[in-house]
Amino acid sequence: MDHTITSIKVQKRNPNRLALYLDGEFAFGLARIVAAWLSIDQVLSDDEIATLQEKDYQEGAYQYAILVLSYRPRSVVELRQKMEAKGYSEAVMDRVIERMTQSGLLNDAQFAQSWVENRSAFHPRSRRALTMELHRKGVTDEVIDQTLGETGNEEEMAYHAAQRQARKLAGLERFEFRNKLGAFLGRRGFSYDTISPVINRLWNEIHMEENG
């Protein structure tokens, strides 16, 4: 059965969507990008209408994915989990993820790099801790290895992680300083073999400054 487009109006609540009227009655809403090729008096078959509605659904899924990424970068697995919770089908998620990957909006290598840089700047972690975090976000071993291969050695990472905390503990006796700073670094995934020389280095630096 064929239907004639009798009116196309901008929706009041969302100017990025259009209200489509068929045969003089409101039929359904469409995203502007989906409705771009439509015009008044154009005749649509039932199959064409179904295709339009499917494309609109996919565009809605894409816009939802854009919104999710606007809050913070996400891995492919994280985005899929958010979309799955929203009720999107596997096929629609696959198409959205492929589209976003091709456009560069979704990239696990860039996500992992951003995650590690953010951690290094604000909440330093050991390689082991970073690896576990990225694994939980669905990043592959290959991408993790490539990303962490660009960081400094483990002892330098621990030293960077402990500098601010060490100054807060500077007034303590050596034994308590060692225990508290060691526990701090341990919670961030560093091993004893890495922690011990870093604590000695920081203790010596602090007290050399005091004595200098």
- 6-61 pLDDT, tens digit per residue, is 999 999 888 999 999 999 999 999 999 999 999 999 999 999 999 999 999 999 99
Domains plus CATH for the chain?
2-106 (1.10.10.10), 107-151 (1.10.10), 154-212 (1.10.10)
DSSP line for the chain: -EEEEEEEEE-SS-TTEEEEEETTEEEEEEEHHHHTT--TT-EEEHHHHHHHHHHHHHHHHHHHHHHHHHHS---HHHHHHHHHHHT--HHHHHHHHHHHHHHTS--HHHHHHHHHHHHHHHS---HHHHHHHHHHTT--HHHHHHHHTTS--HHHHHHHHHHHHHHHTTTS-HHHHHHHHHHHHHHTT--HHHHHHHHHHHHHHHHHHHH-
**pLDDT band for position 210 (50/70/90)?**
low
Task: Answer whether residue 123 shows pLDDT above 80.
Answer: yes
Res. 193: pLDDT tops 80: yes
Give the global pTM: 0.76
Question: What does the pLDDT read at residue 33?
Answer: 92
Mean local confidence (pLDDT), 52-72: 95
Confidence at 209, pLDDT banded by 50, 70, 90: low
Judged against a pLDDT cut of 70, whether residue 152 lies above it is answered with: no
Q: Above 80 in pLDDT, residue 114?
A: yes
At 165-189, the pLDDT tens digits run 999 998 899 999 999 999 999 999 9
Does residue 149 register a pLDDT over 90? no
pLDDT of amino acid 31: 94
Q: In this model, does residue 122 exceed pLDDT 90? A: no
pLDDT at 212 over 80: no
pLDDT at residue 151 is higher than 80: no
Q: Residue 91 above 80 pLDDT?
A: yes
